[in-house]
Structures are given as structure tokens and as C-alpha cells.
Structure 1
Amino acid sequence: MDKLRGVLDFCIHHQTVLSYSFVSLLTAASEHIFSSVVFKCPCNSGNMLYGSIFLIVPAFILFLLGYVVNPKTWYLLTGVCSLDKRAICARYRRTLVLVTASASVAPVTWVAVALLGASFYECAASGNSLIKNIMCKDKGQQCQDLVAKIPCNPKFSEEVSKEALSLQAQSQLIGWLLIVVIMAIALISTCVKRCCSPVSYLQHKFQATYLKKEEEVFERKVQEHATRLAERNVDDFFGDTDPASFTTPSNTDWQNISLLYTFNPQKQYYSMLHAYVNEKRGSSNRVMQGDQNLLVSELVDETSARESGF
């Protein structure tokens, strides 16, 4: 039991990295199945189109699915058309960047693994006129015809050019370059964001813990409140009695706590709900006018990553 509890604790504390790792592994496995079972390069003039579709279209589909399955996407979109305040647009854009980065995990994995596998790129590149001209410089049309057949018979690659890099080598180099660039961008952006944070590391950690607990308590209270309201309405329907009074937050209240909150060092509210409770009802929009260096949504993402050891 102790070992099982230890495994569960490890999974809980590292759920963000484990989820991204699972998505990456699943994407890599899917790419391997596609390249070995489904993908068959035609080895003719249609190589460029066929290979490009298998390389790009699945990545684009995974990118869209990343938006669809991310709850923050719907958090941003729900009711946004009814908001007349342009001042919060910057906050929505910054959160959209976070959602986009999360949605990019699967498609980037697909492209990187596909490039390392080289099948899709080799097929697409062998049909590209520019690459044909480079590989068959001063060798005539027969050489270009051989380039289109390289995906079906790798021996043609040596006949075309022994000095130039093979299409597979080109693909793998591009794949590793893509991985290095993505890792560098992720590291630099994380460092810059941490350097610009308006709070210290310990306060940052406290905020994250508060937000996590607030979400847990809020979800529990929502269930309890909705259950009591449902029971009251159903009892009244079957009992034919006047319904008892029941207090429910107004639409304005819900909208106020649903806005994206930016941490304000002067007031030190840790969420929109925290600010709303401490300010008078109906005037909580005032707390939106604060420091824009740290969004609460950014804090949640950083916390999950930090708990995972990153």
C-alpha cells in the first residue's frame, strides 16, 4: 500500500509533465503507425503534395484539437462577445498565448518525429523542383526523374549525388534543429517571464497554493449549492407548495468573478473571487486596473510545471 500511495503521490505532483509526456508518446506512436502502415509515397510528380499533406495536415488537426480539449479555450470564449471593456483585451491575448503553447505540444511532436523518421520529408522533397535542381545540377532530366523515385528505392540517392546530403539526412537535421529551437524558445521565455514577475518565489508559491485550494473549495460549493437548488425546485414541483427563498449569485456576480484577473501588488488579491469578496459587490471591476505583469492563469501553469520539477 505504501508503494502504491507513493506512486499515486508521484503522479499527482507530476501530472502536468506526465500528461504532456503521454501526449507526446501517443503522438509519436501515431506518427509511426501512419508512416509504416498508411503512408505510401507515389514516387512520381505527386510526391511534393502527398508528402506535405502527411507532414502538415495531421499536425494542424492536432493543433486544433489542442484548442478544443483545453478548458481555458472555452473560459476565454464564453461570454467574451458581450464584454465591452477593451482594457482586458491584453489579458485575453496573453492567456491565448498560453493556450496556444499548450495546444502546440502534439503538433510539434508530430512534425519533429516525422522529420526524424524522414519518410514524409523524403517523399515531399523528392518532388520539389528546387531540391531536384540542387541535387541534379548539370545532370539533365534523367537525374531529376531518379530523384522522384528515391523514396521507393534508396539506392537511387547514391546514383544521383554522392557528395550532397541524402534526403533522409536533411530531414533528420531539420528535425533536430526544430527540437533545439523549440527547447531554446521555451527556456528563454520561461526565464524572461520569471525575471519580470512582480512577486518573490515564496509569494509565488503561496499564490499557487491558494488558487489550487480555492478551485477545489469552489467546485465543492458549486456542487452543494446546485444540489440544494435542484432539491428545492423538485420538492416544490411534486409537493405543490410555495418555494422557499434561495439566494443565488446574479449574472453580474458570475461575470465579475469570471474575468481574467491580473495580480496587483498594491492590494494583493490572489484571484478575481478574492478581489470580489473584499471589494463591494457591483464594484469589483475596479480591481482589474492593476499591474499587468502576472496573470493568474500564468501562475497556475507555472505552478503545475514547478510541482513537476521544472
Structure 2
Amino acid sequence: MDKLRGVLDFCIHHQTVLSYSFVSLLTAASEHIFSSVVFKCPCDSGNMLYGSIFLIVPAFILFLLGYVVNPKTWHLLTGVCSLDKRAICARYCQTLVLVTASASVAPVTWLAVALLGASFYECAASGNSLIKSIMCKDKGQQCQDLVAKIPCNPKFSEEVSKEALSLQAQSQLIGWLLIVVIMAIALISTCVKRCRSPVSYLQHKFQATYLKKEEEVFERKVQEHATRLAERNVDDFFGGTDPASFTTPSNTDWQNISLLYTFDPQKQYYSMLHAYVNERRGSSNRVMQGDQNLLVSELVDETSARESGF
């Protein structure tokens, strides 16, 4: 029982990295299935189009799905057309970067695994006239015809690429370069973001913990409040009586606490709900002004990654 509890605690504390790892493994497995079962290079003039579609289109679809399944996407979009765009543009762009980074995990994994596997790139590159001319420099049309047939017969690669990198080698080099570039960008952006943080390490951790707890309590209260309201309405409908008074937040209340909030070192508020309660109803817009430079919605993701060793 203690071992099971330990496993559960580990999964909870490392849920962000575990979820990204699961997505990456699932994507890699899907790529392997596609390359070994579905993909069949035509080895003719359609090589480039066929190989490019298998390399790029699945990655683009995974990228779009990453946006669709991320709750922050819908947090950004819901009601945005009715808000003052100039006042919230920077905050929305900042959150959009985070959403895009999360949505990029699966497509980048697909591209990296596909390039290391080399099947898609080999097919696409063998139909590219520029690559053909480079690999068959001063060798004539017959060599270029052999390049187009390389995906179907690897022996042709030995005849063509004696002086140049083979198509598989090119693909794998590009794959490793993509991995290195992505890792470097992730490390540099994380370091820059941490250096610009207006709060200390421990306060940063406290803020993230508060946000998690606030979300848990809020979800529980939403369920309880919605249940009581539904029960009152159903009872009054079947009972034929006038509904009893029931206090629920107004549309303005909901809109105020749904706005994106950035941390202001001058005010110890950790969320829009926290600011709204302390600034009183109807005046919470005041906390949206001033020098605010840390988007609070980043904290949960950052702390999860930090606890996971990143």
C-alpha cells in the first residue's frame, strides 16, 4: 500500500513531464506504424509530394490538436471579441506562446522521429530536383533517375552517393539538428524567463501552490453551487411554486475573474479571483493597471516542470 501511495505521489508531482513523455512516446509509436505499414514511396516523379505530405501534414494535424485539447486555448478565446484588445494584447500573446509551446511537443516529436527514421525524407528528397542535381553533379540524367528509385532499392544509394552524403544520412543529421535547436531554445527561454521573474524562488513556488489549490476549491464549489441551483429550479418546476431567492455571480463577476492576470509586485494578489475579492466587486479592473510582468498562468506549469527536474 505504501509503495502504491509512493507511485501515486510520484505521478502527481511529475504529471507535466509524464504527460509530455506519454504524448511523445505515443507520437513516436504512431510514426513507426505509419512508416512501416502505411507509407509506400512511389519511386517516381511524385516522390517529393508524397514524402512531404507524410512528413509535414501529420505534424501540422498534431499541432492543431495540441491547441484544441489545451484548456488555455479556450480560456483565451472565450469572450475575447468583447474585450478591450489593446489592454490585454500583451497578456494574451504571452499566454499564446505557452499554449503554442505545449502544442508543439507532438509535432516536433513526429518530425524528429521521422527524420531519424529517414523514410519520409528519403522519399521526398529523392524527388527534389535540387538535391538530384547536387548528388548527380556531372553524372547525367541516368544518375538522377537512379536517385528517384533509391527509396525502393537501397543499392542505388551506394552507386549514387559515393562522394556525397546519402539521403538517409542527410535526414538523420537534420533530425539531430532539430533536436539540438529545440532543446537550446527551451533552455534559453526558460533561463531568460526565470531571470526576469519579479519574485523569489520560494514565493514563486508558493504562488503556484496557491493557484493549484484555488482551482481545486473553485471546481468543487462550482459543482456544489450548480447542483443547488439545478435542484431549486427542478423542484420549483415540478412543485409549481415561485423560486426561492438564490445568489449567484453576475455576468460581470464571471468576466472579471476570467481575465488573464499578471503578478504585480506592488500588490500581493496571486490570481484574478484573489484580486477581485480584495479589490471589491466592480473595481477589480484596477489591478489590471500598473507594472505587471509575470503572467500568473505560467506558474503551475513552471513549478510542475521544476519538481520534475527541469
* Cα separation, 2, equivalents of 1:272 and 1:80: 16
1:5-34 residue CA offsets vs partner (Å, 9 max, x unmatched): 111111111110000000000000000000
* Cα separation, 2, equivalents of 1:118 and 1:242: 71
* Cα separation, 2, equivalents of 1:204 and 1:113: 35
Unmatched segments (≥5 aa) in structure 1 = none
1:156-198 residue CA offsets vs partner (Å, 9 max, x unmatched): 1111131211100000000000000000000000000000000
Q: CA deviation at 1:299?
A: 1.2
**Local SS of the residue matching 2:263:** coil
* Cα separation, 2, equivalents of 1:158 and 1:213: 61
Moved more, 48-57 or 155-164: 155-164
* Cα separation, 1, equivalents of 2:2 and 2:290: 47
The yes-or-no answer on 1:102 pairing with 2:128 is no
Moved more, 84-93 or 14-23: 84-93
Could you tell me whether the CA contact under 8 Å between 1:150 and 1:157 is conserved in 2?
yes
Q: CA deviation at 1:301?
A: 1.3
Q: CA deviation at 1:292?
A: 3.1
* Cα separation, 2, equivalents of 1:180 and 1:289: 40
TM-score (norm 1): 0.99
Q: CA deviation at 1:304?
A: 1.6
Q: CA deviation at 1:266?
A: 0.5
Residue 48 of structure 1 is matched in structure 2 by 48
Q: CA deviation at 1:85?
A: 4.4
Residue 15 of structure 1 is matched in structure 2 by 15
* Cα separation, 2, equivalents of 1:40 and 1:242: 69
- Give the 4+ runs in structure 1 shifted more than 2 A: none
Could you tell me whether the CA contact under 8 Å between 1:262 and 1:291 is conserved in 2?
no
1:121-147 residue CA offsets vs partner (Å, 9 max, x unmatched): 000000000000000001100000000
1:73-104 residue CA offsets vs partner (Å, 9 max, x unmatched): 00000000111241111100100000000000
Give the length in aligned residue pairs: 310
Could you tell me whether the CA contact under 8 Å between 2:232 and 2:244 is conserved in 1?
yes
1:217-255 residue CA offsets vs partner (Å, 9 max, x unmatched): 101111111111111111111111221111010000000
* Cα separation, 2, equivalents of 1:100 and 1:83: 22
Residue 169 of structure 1 is matched in structure 2 by 169
Could you tell me whether the CA contact under 8 Å between 2:49 and 2:124 is conserved in 1?
yes
* Cα separation, 2, equivalents of 1:243 and 1:120: 65
Could you tell me whether the CA contact under 8 Å between 2:207 and 2:270 is conserved in 1?
yes
Could you tell me whether the CA contact under 8 Å between 1:262 and 1:290 is conserved in 2?
no
* Cα separation, 2, equivalents of 1:128 and 1:242: 75
Moved more, 23-32 or 223-232: 223-232
Question: Percent identical across equivalent pairs?
Answer: 97
* Cα separation, 1, equivalents of 2:170 and 2:85: 50
* Cα separation, 2, equivalents of 1:291 and 1:220: 33
Q: CA deviation at 1:291?
A: 2.8
Q: CA deviation at 1:293?
A: 1.8
**Local SS of the residue matching 1:42:** coil
Moved more, 99-108 or 282-291: 282-291
Residue 271 of structure 2 is matched in structure 1 by 271
Could you tell me whether the CA contact under 8 Å between 1:263 and 1:290 is conserved in 2?
no
* Cα separation, 2, equivalents of 1:88 and 1:126: 48
Moved more, 238-247 or 110-119: 238-247
* Cα separation, 1, equivalents of 2:240 and 2:39: 66
Could you tell me whether the CA contact under 8 Å between 1:41 and 1:123 is conserved in 2?
yes
TM-score (norm 2): 0.99
Could you tell me whether the CA contact under 8 Å between 2:209 and 2:300 is conserved in 1?
no
| Root-mean-square deviation over aligned CA pairs | 0.8
Could you tell me whether the CA contact under 8 Å between 2:265 and 2:292 is conserved in 1?
no
* Cα separation, 2, equivalents of 1:229 and 1:286: 31
